[in-house]
Structure 1
Amino acid sequence: RAVLGSVVGAAGAAALVGCAVSSRTSSAASLLGLGVLLTLIATVIAGPLLVRPVIRVLGGAFPALFGSIGRMSQRNALRNPRRTGATAAALMVGLALVGGMSVASASMTKSFDQQIDKTLGADFVVQNSNFVPFPREITDKIRDTAGAGLVVRSQFTTIAVSLPDGDRVKTTAAGYEPELDEVAHITYAQGDSAAALAAGRLAMDKDFAEDHGVRVGSALPVEFQGGRRAELTVGALTDQESAEGFGAQGGIYFGLGTLEKYAPGGQDAAVYVNAASGTSADDLRGNLEETLDPYPQVQVRDIADYKQLVHDQIAVLLYLVYALLGLAIVIAVLGVVNTLALSVVERTREIGLLRAIGLARRQLRRMIRLESVVIAVFGAVLGLALGLVWGVCTQQVLALQGMTALAIPWGTIVAVVIGSAVVGIVAALLPALRASRMNVLAAIAHE
């Protein structure tokens, strides 16, 4: 068991290390999946071997706190390491998934918050609630809104770009008006917004450009929607942490004039609005919302609204985490109840002897509850330790897509450990009650 667990665990650890140092998202994701699977199998295999050292630590304070009752509960949990390890495995697996997904979701939330703070410079962004483009007449009404100062339009379009290395990439590109720098903060590796938005020019992410042999000044054949073709020159390379998004490979954008020349008739996807001099942001928001009242699908958002939007979307992932946690708790409770019930049956004569020499019913129930608690916390500690490793490696994969912030939800972790102790207490209620109601003489005579 020790040799097999070590070999499988070493292979899983190597896969996770490879995932953390990989520079390609596809290979990193594959190594992450392999590492998660192998380390989980290794922990299940080696779990019984970890029972003695870990439970000695977790239950180390029991003798001092509960005297001989605490000492016996700790030793009872150590009697059958295989059974204890198997009982804790269900909780361990569930909490490992919960821990990993909690770290991933917290890191995503923090990364998005940082990116929104870094990139969004406008007071407000007007968008359709489902991000579908809206008619130009809405943009005109936004311009005419009292207190609206600078208004910058943006559109999106699907393009196909032929690259110097022979690849032909289909992606979504954006078009912006020349005042882009007034409403967004963009970091450039080469060039600037004026060069990127000039007629017949485009900008792209520097890493994408390096991968495909593109440089500033490279002329790239571009096919727009409707079949129109153009040869656009690379005017700037950006150095944004999240230049690429879902369906937006390469982080490509150009001037709105270029977009309208080759793909005319497009609708605005977003309008960035700054308050005019002498108008507060709150007043402008009220005026914009009044202007857009006839269009309920079009919404006004500021930085806080965008953060909340991201938080709400990631919350869906957290709901899945909580569902997994609930399932893990149900399975763990059943497992601990079964194990304790079996343990009570096996120790019937021993319990009778303890009762005969003066062990009170309340002390017996406490002993069984403490045994249950240490088993549940053992599973929680192993699961959360494994989940934290998975979560950190997942964040390394996300970092390849620009989500570079790592966040550990310590509050959630502490709450899960405390909750595991409560689960142990609940699971021990029936076995402890049954043990305390045993007839002492019948228990002593039990074979």
Structure 2
Amino acid sequence: MFRTALRNVLAHKARLLMTVLAVLLGVAFVSGTLVFTSTVSDAYQKSSQKGFTGIDVAITPHRAKGEDRQPGDIPNLSQALLDKAAKVPGAASVSGSVHGFAGIADKDGKLLGEGFNSTGSNYYPGSNGQDARYPMKSGRAPRAPGEVALDQRTADRGGFKLGDTIRMSVSGPVLSQKLTGIFTTDDGNVAAGGSLALFDTRTAQQLYTKPGEFSEIDVKAAPGTSQDALKAELDKLLPKDAQTTTGKKLADDQAKAIADGSSTMRTVMLVFAGIALFVGIFIIANTFTMLIAQRTKELALMRAVGASRRQITRSVLIEAFVVGAVAGVTGLLAGIGIGAGLRALLNNTGAVVPDGPLVISPSTVVTSLAVGILVTMLAAWLPGRRAAKIPPVAAMNSVHAVATTRSLVVRNSIGGVLAAAGAALTITAGSKSMLGLGAGLLLIGVFVLTPLLSRPLIAAAAPLLRVFGISGKLARQNAVRNPRRTAATASALMIGLTLITGLTVIAGSVQSAIDKLATDALRADYVVSMAGEGGGMGLSPEVDKKLAALPEVTASSPLRSTEARVGSDLHSLTGVNGDSFAKLTKLHFVSGSDQLTGRQAIVDDHTAKDFGWKLGSSVNVTFQDGKRDKLTITGLFDGNRMIRGIMVDNSVVTPHMSEVRDMQVMVKTKSGTSEATKRSLTKALGDNPAIQIQDKNDISNAIAQGINLLLNVLYALLAMAVIVAVLGVVNTLAMSVFERQQEIGMLRAIGLDRKGIKRMVRLESLVISLFGGVLGIGLGVFFGWAAGEQIKGGLATYELVLPWGRMGIFLLLAGLVGMLAALWPARRAARMNMLSAIKAD
């Protein structure tokens, strides 16, 4: 039986090629994902370990938790603490670090890296006059105000050379710094594509902390002193608002954070690899079903000479094992190439990956081979079992085991129950997990019901097919001749289009909701904020003053957030200009008004409900400087993602803030939005590369850009499933043509020319593909609606938007898939010798 199984594999090489390709693509996706994520994770981990080689213990500010936590920013570390740390037994050297945002403009005035990990720090020379963390490759370290050093990668990206003037921004005015040095670093953020600018320590403290204060103190242990021993000594002198961490733990924590980040990407990619494999199962099952149907007499003869049912099933599984092993090995090799290619692609997009070897772990090899073999054997098991149950006498007479009425009733009943349960769960889902379970059940239920659905849906295309005469009529009959095979082929395409359509519906509806949110919530023409990660630092209050002084600005208001203790809980208060806030926003008030003067406050309805506040309620507030005040609720409004929380006049919060920073500034102008007005605002702020000025369309487009980027990535990943589905259509048609040799020969003999045969096969493929496309688009819209009901709870302006144009394109693509997939089978059918075909057994 083993030799027979191998002979059958070798005898049907061409027929099994599509099956091998389907499994190969799925395995390649799995192995490529594992290789890529392992390589990136290993490179970042080693890079992070290098970045902490000079740090044995780090002292950092510490925020208390629970009732002991006080409102406001965490206090920085003092020079006195650094001096004490230097005298601790076992400490060889100590350095102080200051960190913050530093946006660097390229030579065209645009922000390098768009604010991603744009960091500023200080160069802290040791006793030898050098900072071991940042070895200078050329030039010297900054020593005075107006000087800066850049990491080598940033200097290369910006085309900067020693002596160049670098325009950069922290949060206030644009700084013009002279480039005095270019250094190398193992900092993981720089390795990930970020930038690092170094100032002298005094300048960095003026920019980011206060004179004599540090963000972090790093201590190097003397020879013979362990990190734990040094940490224990340092813990004895720490104030309560500081903590120590060993260098090993810092490296491990950063490595874990990198691993967690890459694990999310790996999970997403593996999900789509699983979808491709799931689609591949239909093709493999289809292929083995047709191969076995063609070998019915052969299997019956084997049964007649003594082969048992188990041996028949086992021989089919051996064939599947060989096919799966071949596909698994070639898929693994292809996946290694994909992993290397993805890394190169990531580097070309600017997201630099640290240098390191390609990591091919034993688990990747085992997983890839196991996936290829198990998926193929799982898909071949049912056809093999079904073949073993065919009575030998019936098989010898070519009476194939046609599905009985009872089996069809059972199948349709099971499919109906699964589809109904899935639809009910999807509609009533209260969580994402329940929604996912319902979607899965509905998808499986529709797949089980697809043979039943194929007849009426394909019959609906009969009027269109009549245009093509006898070829169209035969194509429709051939498409419904074997409903199970048609269903399996169409389902492969259905799954891919279900996901693509569902994602498109959700993305389009979210974008529409964001557009509506921006339009409904704002009267302001522009919103000014820091770009990228600089948003965490906020804007200097000078920005609002400069904008308010412009003659074309009619109203402006900064949004100034500060933490305070409200009752017994910590909460953020947002300060605004009370006299202009109503001119800049469009809030729907449930009760009260939008007037903000004195100690008045307006609150969104959700926050008010959480605290149990009503119109006229008095709220006790303790600010970060320890002073207390009482606010009166004078308005309750419908909150949204742009404006929510507790809003008060800036005169209430500003006196209590240790450092005034604005999240954003809303601006209204005389002439509304225009390029000229935007240029005027930009010029007033000194063409600051780190400050972005956005109108409503810009806000919407910025969010849309992220959504479209994500959608395009998902489209690219789902294309794998669609490619596998194309192979399935080709496979089905090729097998179908082989099965119908005598029929095609007879059609040729009675007058149907080669063009008619080609047209018949192409129309059959088109009908099957469009059938899968209609099911996929219909299910995708339903799932998009169901997911939208979950989103609606957090996005009040969300409404279902059907992208009719894109759905039309998807249906056309389904038809194109069918036409392309039919090229080779149709050509093969047309070139068949009619006499040989009629005599074929």
TM-score (norm. length: structure 2): 0.48
Residue 152 (1) aligns with residue 557 (2): yes
1:80 and 2:477 equivalent?
A: no
CA distance in 2 between partners of 1:209 and 1:124 (Å): 29
- AA of the residue aligned to 1:41: I
Task: Summarize the Cα distance change of 1:172–1:405 in structure 2 as closer, same or farther, 3 Å threshold.
Answer: farther
The structural deviation recorded for 1:429 is: 0.4
How far did 1:319 drift? 1.0
Corresponding residue of 2:615: 216
Residue 808 of structure 2 corresponds to 414
Amino acid paired to 1:312: Q
Task: Give the residue type in structure 1 aligned to 2:575.
Answer: G
Q: Secondary structure at the match of 2:799?
A: coil
Aligned pair in 2 of structure 1 residues 309, 67: CA closer, same or farther (>3 Å)? same
Q: CA deviation at 1:384?
A: 0.7
Tell whether the 8 Å contact from 2:621 to 2:631 is kept in structure 1 after alignment.
yes
Is the aligned partner of 1:266 residue 2:660?
Answer: yes
Partner of 1:433: 827
Distance 2:572 2:747 in 1: 75
Aligned residue among 420, 426, 433 for 1:10: 420
Q: For 1:30 and 1:232, how far apart are their aligned partners in 2?
A: 42
Say which structure, 1 or 2, has more relative contact order (CA 8 Å, 6+ apart): 1
Residues 516 and 797 in structure 2, CA contact (< 8 A), matched pair in contact too? no
Task: Give the Cα–Cα distance (whole angstroms) in 2 for the partners of residues 275 and 127 of structure 1.
Answer: 17
Q: Which residue does 1:362 correspond to in 2?
A: 755
Q: For the pair shown, which has the larger CA radius of gyration, 1 or 2? A: 2
Call closer, same or farther: CA 1:147–1:384 in 2, change over 3 Å. Answer: same
1:71 equivalenced with 2:483 (yes/no): no
Residue 146 of structure 1 contacts residue 284 of structure 1 at CA under 8 Å; is this kept in 2?
A: no
In 1, Cα distance between equivalents of 2:437 and 2:557: 46
Which amino acid in the other structure matches residue 711 of structure 2?
A: L
Contact kept in structure 2, 1:94 and 1:324, CA below 8 Å: no
Counterpart CA distance in 2 for 1:171 and 1:331 is 52
Matches within 5 A, 1:170-249: 173-178=573-578, 179-194=580-595, 197-210=596-609, 213-220=612-619, 232-240=631-639, 243-244=640-641
Structure 2 residue aligned with 1:105: 507
CA distance in 1, matches of 2:627, 2:492: 58
Please report the TM-score for the alignment, with normalisation by the length of structure 1. 0.87
Say which SS state the counterpart of residue 518 (structure 2) adopts. Answer: helix
Moved more, 321-330 or 353-362: 321-330
Inter-partner Cα distance in structure 2 for 1:106 and 1:16: 20
Please give the alpha-carbon distance, in whole angstroms, between the structure 2 residues aligned to 1:325 and 1:415: 16
For 1:121, the aligned partner's letter is R
Which runs of structure 2 are paired with 1:244-255 in the superposition (5 Å)? 244=641, 251-255=645-649
SS of equivalent to 1:61 = helix
Partner of 1:285: 678
Which of 726, 732, 750 lines up with 1:339 in the alignment? Answer: 732
CA distance 1:436–1:189, shift in 2 (3 Å): same
Per-residue deviation, 1:265 = 1.7
Pick closer, same or farther for the CA change 1:233–1:244 going to 2, 3 Å. Answer: farther
Equivalent pair of 1:103/1:391 in contact (CA under 8 Å): yes
Q: Structure 1: how far apart are the matches of 2:488 and 2:472?
A: 23
Secondary structure of the 2:460 match is: helix
- Tell whether the 8 Å contact from 1:105 to 1:317 is kept in structure 2 after alignment: no
1:382 and 1:414 map into 2 onto residues whose CA distance is 13
1:368-387 to 2 correspondences below 5 Å: 368-387=761-780
Q: Give the drift of 1:4.
A: 1.3
1:370-418 CA-partner distances (Å, limit 9, x unpaired): 0000111111100111111111122222221213322110011111111
Would the alpha carbon gap of residues 94 and 279 (structure 1) be closer, same or farther in structure 2, given more than 3 Å must change?
Answer: closer
Q: CA deviation at 1:171?
A: 6.1
Tell me the secondary structure at the aligned position of residue 602 of structure 2: strand
1:327 deviates by 2.4
Q: Alignment partner of 2:635: what SS?
A: strand
Whole-angstrom distance in 1 between the partners of 2:442 and 2:626:
51
Among candidates 296, 299, 324, match of residue 689 of structure 2:
296
Contact between 1:59 and 1:374, CA under 8 Å: does it hold in 2? Answer: no
How far the C-alpha of 1:184 sits from its partner, in A, is 0.9
Counterpart CA distance in 2 for 1:279 and 1:419 is 43
The size of the alignment, in residue pairs, is: 426
Question: Aligned residue for 1:96?
Answer: 498
**Compared CA separation, residues 335 and 113, structure 1 to 2 (3 A):** same
For residues 112-153 of structure 1, the C-alpha deviation after alignment (integer angstroms, 9 at most, x for no partner) is 111211121112221222244122233333233353332211
Consecutive unaligned residues in structure 1, runs of 5 or more: 20-26
User: 1:365·1:433 contact (CA, 8 Å) conserved in 2?
Assistant: yes
Shift of 1:330: 0.6
The equivalent of 2:237 in structure 1 is none
CA distance in 1, matches of 2:589, 2:716: 43
CA drift at 1:279: 9.2
Q: In the TM superposition, what whole-angstrom CA distance separates every residue of 1:248-280 from its partner, at most 9, and x where no partner exists?
A: 9x633333233324444231121122225x898
Give the deviation of 1:219 after TM superposition: 4.3
